[in-house]
């Protein structure tokens, strides 16, 4: 201990011993109504010759001088209680043996430890309160007023951590538990129910609300977020335990106690429960290959796979920059997982064969695809065909040739009753996997369909974010357009879960929840940014080529079968015709670049459910209406 610390320790020790002396005398004065008989006074003062050393030794033994008064808390108080308890026990024993003619009165032995506890504990509490007021009092009073939603343990933690915050000032608590209304928590009054937020926010001039309900269901949290946005209050949220434990999740907008609300919070989806032991037995210690590893879904699949410690992760992608970013991230987040970046096109059969032969993967996740609907609709329709269909066939054939045990293709809800080239090509890719499955009994092929994922490359959320940052307008293609959404981690986890369940030829459908109206999504994002719809307007631009108003997860003639996982079902899709697939592949291998109209004509023949979508007229619904762009 440094000299300054030693001096401070002895100073505090001196104070405590002075407290012992004063409390001992006070106990005697109280016992005799401030008129202590001379014999008892003499005996009491003589007793201090051994009472003081006993307390000095016990205070040191119980570590009362290891803590700092400025941080005094309940553990420090408990140490004081234990030290005083042990001391008074020794005092009672010694006093019994030294009774003599003037014993220590029992009332003194009862009152003394109480006085001492109040003196020592109270002094520390007063010192801490004085220091905090001196350091933070003025700053805390100037902090931004905020309402706390949730009067449970998480709420108490927020109160403690923000008590000295120069940035925030809690002005009240809202909780739906009626028994708490009108009562106080750490000096804060429980004002009323959560649905009274708008009235209390206006009355207390609070523009922020901290939601401290990490154990509440996702649906409950979603309703509270909606209440905040409707009231014009900016919500902040205490992370759930799963979020706290996940590494690399914190952003610059987060504080040590709470974080900004994300768009996935507004979906109201509960966390995914996956069968970790099954996934671990499938992935752990094995070589895994992911195509499209640099993309949104592919990179998240790599992150989720890394949690199960594969022997090696082969990241296959045509973009060298995307692979570079992925490898850089893994060197920090997952340094124990060997990542091998392989640049290559999935249409390059020779390079695929070399990659499979050299690394012998036991599991393949095929996430590489062209997915942007408008870009693939006309000018790039041929590329969509060759990449999504021929590329899938070549990856699947390479997996079959090298007897890869399991092959999982990432598909899309746009493959259901497709109205665009992208969706039709992904439906053909599903059919390719089914046909290859019939020729390769050693490999289990399956496909997994899901809708849009929040924050993926080229998706609506990043575009809205950019438009809001630029001051608007936010563009929406149609007032009624809806989409299914889930978070990228949830989608990746369910793909892994589906991989454990596939027996060969299945098309798995993810539970995407309720469809989201893109107009509402745009409005929520504007409110989350702290702006109003009057400041950032929303414009309708009309549906883009190949885009439809509503997405589906099952074709009209399809049925689904349940699985043991509540968020996964198996689609009973139309069986793929090997003759048609061979005709498609022969046409693609011929390499004669074809225009969009001829490709769409052929797609209608190969995929009977494909029907190019006719763009509806955009209805102007009034000057006050606003909207946003769908994906």
User: Which has the closest alpha carbon to 158: 188, 121, 203?
Assistant: 188
User: Which has the closest alpha carbon to 249: 259, 236, 234, 257?
Assistant: 259
Name every residue whose Cβ is closer than 8 Å to that of residue 285 and which is 6 or more positions away in sequence.
309, 310, 311
Q: How many other CB atoms are found less than 10 A from the CB of residue 623?
A: 7
Question: From CA 193, how far away is CA 200, in angstroms rounded?
Answer: 10
Across the chain, how many H-helices and E-strands are there? 21, 22
- Two tokens, residue 101: 């003619």
Residue 184 φ/ψ, nearest 5 degrees: -120, 150
- Two tokens, residue 537: 């307007």
The burial class, CB within 10 Å (0-12 / 13-18 / 19+), for 268 is middle
CA dihedral 340, 344, 348, 349 (to 10 degrees): 0
Instruction: Identify each DSSP E strand in 511-567 by its residue range.
Output: 516-517, 538-540, 559-562
Instruction: Give the C-alpha distances (Å, rounded to integers) separating 142 from 146, 167, 184.
Output: 12, 8, 22
The burial class, CB within 10 Å (0-12 / 13-18 / 19+), for 143 is middle
According to DSSP, the residues that pair with 510 across neighbouring strands are 568
User: Which has the closest alpha carbon to 306: 568, 454, 489?
Assistant: 489
Catalytic residue from among 180, 397, 406, 414: 414
414 belongs to the catalytic site:
yes
Question: From CA 518, how far away is CA 538, in angstroms rounded?
Answer: 11
Question: From CA 473, how far away is CA 417, in angstroms rounded?
Answer: 32
Known catalytic residues are: 414
């Amino acid at each position: 201990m440094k000299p300054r610390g030693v001096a401070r320790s002895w100073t505090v020790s001196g104070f405590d011993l002075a407290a012992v002396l004063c409390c001992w005398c006070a106990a005697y004065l109280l016992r005799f109504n401030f008129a202590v008989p001379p014999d008892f006074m003499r005996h009491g003062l003589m007793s201090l010759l051994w009472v003081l050393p006993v307390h000095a030794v016990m205070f040191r033994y119980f570590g009362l001088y290891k803590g700092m008064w400025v941080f005094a808390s309940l553990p420090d108080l408990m140490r004081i209680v234990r030290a005083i308890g042990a001391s008074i026990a020794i005092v009672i024993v010694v006093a019994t043996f030294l009774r003599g003619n003037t014993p220590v009165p029992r009332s003194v032995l009862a009152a003394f430890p109480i006085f001492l506890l109040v003196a020592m504990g109270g002094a520390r509490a007063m010192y801490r309160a004085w220091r905090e007021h001196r350091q933070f009092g003025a700053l805390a009073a100037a902090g931004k007023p905020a309402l706390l939603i949730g009067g449970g343990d998480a709420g108490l933690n927020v109160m403690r951590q923000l008590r000295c915050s120069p940035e925030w000032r809690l002005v009240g608590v809202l909780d739906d538990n009626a028994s708490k209304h009108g009562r106080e928590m750490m000096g804060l009054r429980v004002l009323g129910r959560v649905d009274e937020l708008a009235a209390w926010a206006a009355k207390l001039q609070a523009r922020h609300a901290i939601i401290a309900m990490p154990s509440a269901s996702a649906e409950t949290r979603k309703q509270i977020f909606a209440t905040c946005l409707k009231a014009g209050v900016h919500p902040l949220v205490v992370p759930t335990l799963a979020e706290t434990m996940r590494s690399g999740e914190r952003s610059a907008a987060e504080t040590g106690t709470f974080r900004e609300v994300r768009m996935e919070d507004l979906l109201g989806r509960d966390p995914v429960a996956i069968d970790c032991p099954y996934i671990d037995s499938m992935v752990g210690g094995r070589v895994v290959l992911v195509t499209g590893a640099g993309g949104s879904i592919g990179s998240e699949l790599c992150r989720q796979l890394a949690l199960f410690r594969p022997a090696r992760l082969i990241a296959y992608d045509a973009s060298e920059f995307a692979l570079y970013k992925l490898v850089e991230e893994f060197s920090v987040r997952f340094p124990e997982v060997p990542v091998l970046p392989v640049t290559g096109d999935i249409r390059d059969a020779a390079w695929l064969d070399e990659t499979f032969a050299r690394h012998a993967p036991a599991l393949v996740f095929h996430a590489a695809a062209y997915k942007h609907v408008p870009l693939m609709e006309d000018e790039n329709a041929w590329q969509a065909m060759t990449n999504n269909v021929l590329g899938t066939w070549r990856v699947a054939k390479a997996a079959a040739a090298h007897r890869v045990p399991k092959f999982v293709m990432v598909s899309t809800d746009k493959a259901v009753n497709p109205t665009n080239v992208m969706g039709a090509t992904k439906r053909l890719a599903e059919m390719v996997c089914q046909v290859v499955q019939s020729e390769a009994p050693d490999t289990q092929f399956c496909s997994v369909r899901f809708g849009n994922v929040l924050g993926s490359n080229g998706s609506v959320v990043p575009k809205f974010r950019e438009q809001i940052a630029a001051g608007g307008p936010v563009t929406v293609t149609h007032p009624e357009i809806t989409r299914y959404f889930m978070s990228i981690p949830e989608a990746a986890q369910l793909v892994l879960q589906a991989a454990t369940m596939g027996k060969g030829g299945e098309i798995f459908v993810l539970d995407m929840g309720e469809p989201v109206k893109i107009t509402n999504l745009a409005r929520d994002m504007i409110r989350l940014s702290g702006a109003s719809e009057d400041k950032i307007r929303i414009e309708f631009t009309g549906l883009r080529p190949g885009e439809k108003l509503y997405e589906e997860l099952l074709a009209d003639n399809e049925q689904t079968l349940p699985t043991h996982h509540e968020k996964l079902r198996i689609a009973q899709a139309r069986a793929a015709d090997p003759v048609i697939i061979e005709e498609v592949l022969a046409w693609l291998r011929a390499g004669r670049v074809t225009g969009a109209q001829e490709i769409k004509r052929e797609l209608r023949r190969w995929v009977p459910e494909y029907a190019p979508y006719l763009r509806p007229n955009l209805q102007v619904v009034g000057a006050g209406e606003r909207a946003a762009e769908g994906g």
